[in-house]
Amino acid sequence: MDFNSLGQGSPFYILTKHEGQKPTLEVGTIKEKVLQQPQYQFQAVPTAMNGMGVQQQLVRMVVTIGGSDRVVPDIPGNVEIAAKGDITYSGSPQAMMQAVDAMMQTSKAELEREGYNKMVLGEGERFMETLNPRYAEEKQRDRTIKSLEERQAATDSKLDTIISKLNELFTPSKK
* Residue 130 lies inside a defined structural domain of this protein: no
Asked if 47 and 30 count as a contact pair (C-beta separation under 8 A), the reply is: no
Residue 155: CA atoms inside 13 Å, Cβ hemisphere, count? 6
**Widest Cα–Cα separation across the chain:** 106
Residue 78: CA atoms inside 13 Å, Cβ hemisphere, count? 6
Q: Is 37 helix (H, G, I), strand (E, B) or coil?
A: coil
- Provide the 8-state DSSP code for 3: G
Q: Checking phi first, is residue 62 left (phi over 0); if not, alpha (psi -120 to 50) or beta?
A: beta
| DSSP string across 13-59 | EEEE--TTS--EEEEEEEEEEEEPPPEEEEEEEEETTTEEEEEE-EE
Asked whether the predicted pLDDT for residue 39 surpasses 60, the reply is no
* pLDDT grade for 45, boundaries at 50, 70 and 90: very low
Please count the other Cβ atoms lying within 10 Å of the Cβ belonging to residue 130.
10
Over residues 90-107, mean pLDDT: 95
* Residue 99 lies inside a defined structural domain of this protein: yes
pLDDT at 174: 65
* Residue 97 lies inside a defined structural domain of this protein: yes
* Residue 158 lies inside a defined structural domain of this protein: no
Q: Is 86 helix (H, G, I), strand (E, B) or coil?
A: coil
Residue 28: domain span: 3-38+54-106
Asked whether the predicted pLDDT for residue 115 surpasses 60, the reply is yes
The 10s digit of each residue's pLDDT in 4-25 is 889 999 999 999 999 889 999 9
* Residue 91 lies inside a defined structural domain of this protein: yes
| Residue 91 burial class via C-beta count within 10 angstroms: exposed 0-12, middle 13-18, buried 19 and up | buried
* Residue 144 lies inside a defined structural domain of this protein: no
CA 170 – CA 175 distance, rounded (Å): 15
Instruction: Report which residue type is found at 19.
Output: E
pTM for the structure as a whole: 0.63
* Residue 175 lies inside a defined structural domain of this protein: no
- Provide the 8-state DSSP code for 67: T
Number of folded domains that form the chain: 1
* Residue 134 lies inside a defined structural domain of this protein: no
